[in-house]
Structure 1
Amino acid sequence: MTSVLDRFLRYVQIDTQSDPNSPSFPSTSKQRNLSNLLAVELQELGISDAHVDEHGYVYATIPANSSKENVPVICFCSHVDTSPDVTGASVVPIVHENWDGSDIVLPDDHKQVLRIGELHDLDTQIGNDIVTASGGTLLGADNKAGVAEIMAAAEILMHNPDLKHGTIKILFTPDEEVGRGTEKVDLQKLGADFGYTVDGEAVGTLEDETFSADAVKITIHGISTHPGYAIGKLENALKIGAEILARLPKDSLSPETTEDKQGFIHPVQFEGIQEKVTLSFIVRDFNTPGLKEKEDFLKKIMEEVLEHYPHSTGDFEVHEQYRNMKEVLDQHPQVISNALTAMEKVGLSPIRQSIRGGTDGSRLSFMGLPCPNIFAGEHAFHSKLEWVSVQDMEKAVEVIVSLAQVWEENA
């Protein structure tokens, strides 16, 4: 048997960083390097249909070994790409065995230090084996921890016929980090009734609620003229765009001023010249109607600013990104109850919580595959301080195996 740690250490050294500016799919061809490896390893486990499709998705089926005919088909899903925020090239993973709670100074950049009190959940890990990168890159636990855990669970299920389960589907997706992870997934081909993404944080957490999310693009068309003869004529789109940003609240409605179930408006890009400027925003709210309220507020700011520039115009475009998966999951309570039972069976006290973000499960749920998110143990993701504990990864493997059995038992 290959340990989940051995798999994880091997996978994180494969650069799979996605690119939000790439028009191709997947956005970077190097993601296929890991996808191809996973398909080969699944085949070596005896999963004969494991393959990578033309879009870089890995599909595989663990055949049912239960005599029951009505066991729902469940899917476990993780993504192979890592965040564009920090490089994922030349990752050097370090295992800090039996960690004693002291500061972990990363050797390639001594300014990168893991300290209790500064990183969530780190204080619960004393005595465990902590895996970090070396300080110059992210680690890639988001989401290669989930990938390794699903692979380790697949090996256990394939090699232990006494563990009864229905048909299990495995799905590894590209480009989750750039919001395109489900763009070309074939759910008919997948053939699952219910799913679970393995892409969460602290051990024991089950996330069944996400933001609802939209993207907003404001395009300002100003009036350009020679600056030496601009009096009474020039309406600088750069200044108009800056005024729009300046009118956003300073003490509310932003990521840095909100928490829990509070939504926000977040500018993510500003580009252009004096004639034309584009402002890009992401808008988030746990209640879908709250998105419309925030978008109306932002549009009103644009219109009020433009009142002072009579010859300039503005375009306001809204693009749906994903919706709160709770709207779907509430219609299928067994998806949650079975996950809670599986966690309890392996000695955990489950924690249901919301994600201040989204997962592939958000889109999959609305595409017809109800799909909450279970923990993978990843922490401080999208940063050089990213870490995961070996014991948390091992517990995630136990939960996946237990969950396969719970669905069979309850059928």
Structure 2
Amino acid sequence: MMLLDNPSLKLVRDIQVFDLIWNNTADAIFTIGHDGAIIDANPAFEALFGWNVEEIKGLSFPPFFSHITKEEHQEILLQLRKGKKFPYVVSKRKHKDGIVLDIIASYQPINNQEILAIGMYKNFTEQMKIQRKLQASEDTYRTLVESLPVAIIVQQHEKMVFANSAGLKIFGKNRLKDIIGKSLWDFVFSKEKEKIKEKFNRILEQKNTSVSISDEFTTNDGKVICGEIKVNYIEYKGEPSIQILIQDISEKRNYEAQLEYLAFHDPLTGLRNRRKFTDIVKGAIKKVEKTNEKIAIMYIDLDHFKSINDTLGHNVGDEFLQHFAIRLKSCVRKNDELCRIGGDEFLVLLNNLTNYEQIKKIAERMHSTFKAPYSIDKKTFDVTSSIGISVYPEHGLNERLLISHADQALYRAKENRNRFVFYS
């Protein structure tokens, strides 16, 4: 019996992690459809806002949007459709009881078949109340910020004069005296250091502005921090200062990466899904338009796969498809692309071709590899495949025609099965 490859096992774990985060995170998470309407929300959303999921499902402008206009909301949706991320937006939303909450909002475009984007709200109400009182005495200030999980640093004349416990932790220090009088940049490195310093200076000059920054920082001990930073002007001990709030979002970034992976890959085999594959073919066509190279689309269908599901069950069928995907991957080159459309149908994009012989050799290698017996669940069986092939530019000048013509060639190949046929 062949074992699942590591990517397949990782995909299962990623899905389990997604479910775990959705149901157990303290952050409110909701999904938005392509029409802008709410599709679903997690338990933390109901707990934070008091709205039952069924009360807001299907609403394009739900009642918790108290401090944003419909026009502003539509602009956010437009940008999400273009693939823009909104990683750190301080805003306000309304509880069902009418209470206004300060929140940190982030929107991650997904753009799969059902979901346009995922929204995440972190309740920042208490922290904002604290921030509005920062003009109090130093002792009061220390008391207020010390217990916050967000790193807070105060800087004067490019030297740090205060950091709470979370701030010290970022620098790998336990005592305030270890950082007082030193520059932030003595402890962390960023490629955007000079640009960030310019923003700090601008805040000191204008005195009433604030900026949000997303960046990666490397500490002296080599730890990489994905930070969302909020910087604003304050007076500390009567001196013009800047307050720097740093939130480590490394876990959130990993979560977003998992969401993006799931949006563009087949969950069973880990191969590209059709939407992503189509975009890749479109890009490949643009590249070869200026050269004499060719690309080819292979449309692959397994012969008599239905009998495996019918006689051995869907679990064996699914495991077989995973094994087949591994074999398919072994037949192509590193710069080629693979896709599972669904069921037992697969697509392959062959890049950097100069003649038909290259395509024939790959197709022959596939048939030779695919026909070797499969052993799953102590059962051994043979499965052949039929392949339809279209070639750019002879058989189509866009991705839609190339895939369609490969499908037509597949139809002819299946008349006798276990063979490959070029479109004609």
Same topology, TM > 0.5: no
Question: Which structure carries more strand by proportion?
Answer: 2
- Name which one, 1 or 2, has greater alpha-carbon Rg: 2
Question: Which structure carries more helix by proportion?
Answer: 2
Higher RCO (CA < 8 A, seq sep 6+): 1
Structure 2 length normalisation: TM-score?
0.22
